[in-house]
Amino acid sequence: MEALNHVAMEADEKTQQALGRLCNIWKERNVFEKHLLHELKQALSGKSEPKEAEAPPVKKSKLDQTKLEQLPLSLREEIAADISDSPKEPPDAEELVRALQDLENSASTDAAVRERIAALPPEVSDIAMLEKIKDRETVDRLSREVEDASLLLAEYNSRLSKELEERKHIAQMLKDFIAFQKDQLTESEKRLDEYKQKLGKVSEVRNELRSHIQNLPDLSLLPDVTGGLKPLPSAGDLFAKE
């Protein structure tokens, strides 16, 4: 501000007018806040000016809101809007793989057609070039080129539209497949925790059983209680006739 005060005091009238116009441009384009522009003008003029009353904020009318809602969606937003959020039957993994592989031969990957389109003469898409045509031969040649270009572009646009629908379908398939896999992941984690607990209990019993077996007495170390006595007769010997 001190520098501007100095300019206001020392600069000639032409310089002051140029700075004044610059402030007006800043004001029109909302480059700076109004209060700052007000102070700049005061510094340039070297006197105080009545502070401008700020206009109340303009509320957006329902009509403006409707216009915003009617703005065309981008292609990405349109695809996202077409994809359902509700879970559906998940696709078979092989079906999904085949659909993804089919995209390798889609229209957008057809470099040969894109090269043909890029090589089209500028006359077929620039109406201003018609003014340069002076003879019938050129008209006939351009007419054939325009017809060929129209057929080529119409066919390619049809393929691109079909590809777009296929990609929407595959995007829905992927979403359903991922949702299903997430559910399966949750179930697998629960099942893993459950069987980890069962394994822990079985391991605890096994360790306890081993400890119990180790604490049992060794029967091979006990004395021979039979003392060399004759073994008891069998049931057949007891009922055998003498």
Q: What is the pLDDT of residues 11-41, one digit of tens each?
A: 556 656 666 766 676 676 565 567 666 766 6
pLDDT, position 137: 86
pLDDT value of residue 49: 43
Q: What angle do CA 148, 160, 109 make, to 5 degrees?
A: 95
Q: What is the mean pLDDT of residues 98-111?
A: 90
Question: 68 pLDDT exceeds 60?
Answer: no
The top-scoring range by mean pLDDT among 2-11, 13-22, 77-86, 231-240 is 231-240
Q: Residue 141: pLDDT above 70? A: yes
How would residue 217 be classed by pLDDT, with cut points 50, 70 and 90?
confident
The whole-number pLDDT of residue 26 equals 60
> Cα(149)–Cα(156) distance, rounded to whole angstroms?
10
Least confident of 7-11, 17-21, 180-184, 191-195: 7-11
Q: What is the pLDDT of residue 166?
A: 92
The structure tokens listed for 192 are 């893993």
Whether 91 has a pLDDT exceeding 80, the answer reads: yes
Name, of 24-28, 90-94, 220-224, the range with top average pLDDT.
Answer: 90-94
Averaged pLDDT, 174-178: 92
Q: What local confidence, expressed as pLDDT, does residue 53 receive?
A: 47
Average pLDDT, the chain: 76
- Which range, 24-28, 97-101, 218-222, 236-240, is most confident? 97-101
d(CA 27, CA 36): 10
Q: Of residues 156 and 73, which shows the higher confidence score?
A: 156
pTM of the model: 0.48
Mean pLDDT across the stretch 115-128? Answer: 88
Q: Where are the alpha helices (DSSP H) in 59-218?
A: 62-69, 75-82, 93-102, 111-118, 136-215
Residue 58 has pLDDT above 70, yes or no: no
Q: What angle do CA 162, 165, 167 make, to 5 degrees?
A: 110
Percent of the chain with pLDDT over 90: 33
Say how far apart CA 237 and CA 81 lie, in whole Å: 95
